[in-house]
Amino acid sequence: MADKIVLEIARYAPERDDKPSFQSFEVPLRKEWVVLDALNYIKDKVDGTLTYRWSCRMGICGSCGMMVNGEPKLTCATFLTSYGNNATVRVEPLRYFPVIRDLVTALSDFLVKLQKVKPWLIHPNQPPLSAGEFLQTPEQLDLYKQFSMCINCTLCYAACPVVGLDQEFVGPAALALAQRYNLDNRDQGSAERLATLAHPDGIWGCTFVGECTRVCPKHVDPAGAIQQYKLTAALDWVKSFILPRGHKDAPQETAHD
């Protein structure tokens, strides 16, 4: 194994630069190092101005997503050695997001989209806590569990060509999280979410490219969630003419004994 590897890193400081450029750094190539370790090496030893986000370095906080050789990746989970000997690894900010500086992108738009789909449990008139938990069988949990694994790393937005063409598209992660609550037997909010989801910028914006699912580091399968919801939404749209309100049987509530 070679003992060095070159990183070509996108640099951009709005106070100084008109447009991004690349800067090369040679770093030690160690078998246990991920791309993030190389960035930390550069920041600590070579150039303290290199700018990126990171925190947990165990693939759960969702901070350190970047384009690595053109692919959206969590850099804490991407080994340098997976790019072979003597290779150059190109690191860029996540595609389709405004760049704040170097490898840091703006997340504010994603948070607006997330809030829009009402990703919280909607269940008016809950019994008091003393009545115990809502019942939910392991099978009912399995219906939505996969979609609850989203870490908001936004890799799926950087992979989605629709996001690239239409900045208003709600996008894979937010749609998957909406579906996570819609499929939860404790939730009664699918009607409230319908307007946002069944909008041209909601599920109908998705052209089912499936890149979101391919790049998701947590196997959430946003593409599957969206396709599933397209079916439900089409049915709900029909039902909304027939039934005054509500689409789902109320979940069972039982006192905890």
Partner 1 sequence: MEIRSHDILLVGGGGAGLRAAIAAAEVNPKLSVAVVSKVYPMRSHTVSAEGGAAGVAKPDDSLDEHAYDTISGGDWMCDQDAVEAFVKEAPLELLQLERWGCPWNREPDGHIAVRAFGGMTNKRTWFAADKTGFHMLHTLFQTTLKYQPITRYDEYFVTKLLVDDGRVQGVVAIEIMSGKIQAITAKAVILCTGGCGRVFPFTTNANIKNGDGMALAQRAGAPLKDMEFVQYHPTGLPFTGILITEAARAEGGYMLNKDGYRYLQDYDLGKPQPTPVLRSMELGPRDRLSQAFVKEDQKGRTIPTEYGPVVHLDLRHLGEKLINAKLPFVRELCVKYQNIDPVTELIPVRPVVHYMMGGVSTDINGATPMAGLYAAGEVACVSINGANRLGSNSLPECLVFGARAGHAAAEFAASQKAPNGSVWTQATNEVLRLEQQYLHKTSGRERIATLREEMQKTIEAGAGIYREEASLKQARQKIQELQERFENVGLDDHGRTFNTELISALELGFMLDVAQSIIECALYRAESRGAHQRTDFPKRDDQKFLAHSLVRRSSDGSLSVDYLPVKITHWPPGERKYGEGSHKASKQTKVS
Q: Pick the closer one to partner 1 by CB: 146 or 213.
A: 146
Instruction: Please name which of 201, 196, 166 lies closest in space to residue 182, comparing C-alpha atoms.
Output: 196
- Provide Rg for the chain, Cα atoms: 22
Q: By C-beta, is 69 or 152 nearer to partner 1?
A: 152
Angle at 79 between CA 11 and CA 52, to 5 degrees: 30
Which residues make up the interface to partner 1 (CB under 8 A)? 13-16, 32, 43-45, 47-49, 51-63, 77, 100-102, 104, 106-108, 111, 114-115, 118-121, 123, 126, 129, 132-138, 140-141, 144-145, 148-152, 177, 181, 184, 186-187, 252, 256-257
Alpha carbons 226 and 205: distance in angstroms, whole number: 10
Q: Which is nearer to partner 1, 98 or 246 (CB)?
A: 98
Give which of 109, 102, 98 is closest to 54, Cα–Cα. Answer: 102
CB 101 to partner 1: min, Å: 4
Minimal distance, residue 18 CB to partner 1, in Å: 14
CB of 136 to partner 1, least distance (A): 5
Task: Give dist(CA 249, CA 78) in Å, integer.
Answer: 44
* Distance between CA atoms of residues 160 and 214, nearest Å: 10
Task: Give the residue with the Cβ less far from partner 1, 162 or 173.
Answer: 173
CB of 164 to partner 1, least distance (A): 23
Q: Shortest Cβ distance from residue 21 to partner 1 (Å)?
A: 16
- Whether the CB-CB separation of 230 and 204 falls below 8 Å is answered with yes
